[in-house]
Amino acid sequence: MTNIDQKLGIDDRDKTILDIIGNNPQISQKEIGERVKLSQPSVGARIQKLKEKGILSVISGVNFKKVDLFLAKVDVTANDTDTVLMSFDKCPFFINGLVLSGTYNLSIFLAAPSIGELEEVVNYHLRPLEGVKSVRMDIVIKPIKDFVLPVSFDVNNCNDKKVFTQKCKVCPVRAKVFNKTSQT
């Protein structure tokens, strides 16, 4: 057993099961059992154990290797990373955020149909936030492997429609409010 095996509490069969599922998430437990020489109930019990430990998770999302969306990695130095992350929690452009050590203490992933929209989210929502000291945005040119991330297309689910409508020029909620205002 390696250190990582011990830390995760898995054995060689668990690793083989993880590899099989990683290569074919739709494979049946019966087929896995045939390959690892275990019964289907034993495979099911191992999969359940791996899920409970957080070692095996299934997510649905957008494969950024295959779709025509732009993905940005935005590095941020901020006084309060939690406040920055909370301000993006329901943003339809926000994919995920990572709190880091180092000069940049936060990395945010954003996705949009155009680079211009990503720049506007960064410039009108992120840069003006209190406590944000520096921001660096990089556009992901291409992932090498499949890169699946959950994406919310629910534009009606922003944290604070007043903040988003005032700060984000490209925010879909802002556009809806603006269109309603201009029609009255």
- In the sheet that holds 106-112, the strands lie side by side as 94-99, 106-112, 70-78, 132-139
The fold adopted by the segment(s) 3-52 is Arc Repressor Mutant, subunit A (1.10.10)
Domain boundaries defined on the chain: 3-52, 62-172
Provide the pLDDT for residue 176: 42
Burial of 173 (0-12, 13-18, 19+ CB in 10 A): buried
**Which pTM was predicted?**
0.73
| Digitized pLDDT (tens) for each residue of the chain, 184 residues in all | 678 888 999 999 999 999 999 889 899 999 999 999 999 999 999 999 999 999 998 778 888 888 888 999 999 999 999 999 988 877 888 999 999 999 999 999 999 888 988 998 899 889 988 899 999 999 999 899 888 888 766 655 554 444 444 555 556 544 443 343 444 4
CB 73 within 8 A of CB 138: yes
Provide the pLDDT for residue 154: 62
Provide the pLDDT for residue 71: 93
Check for a shared fold between 3-52 and 62-172.
no
Query: What is the amino acid identity at position 63?
Result: N
Provide the pLDDT for residue 133: 96
CATH of domain 62-172: 3.30.70.920
- Reported as a single tens digit per residue, the pLDDT across 155-174 is 555 544 444 445 555 565 44
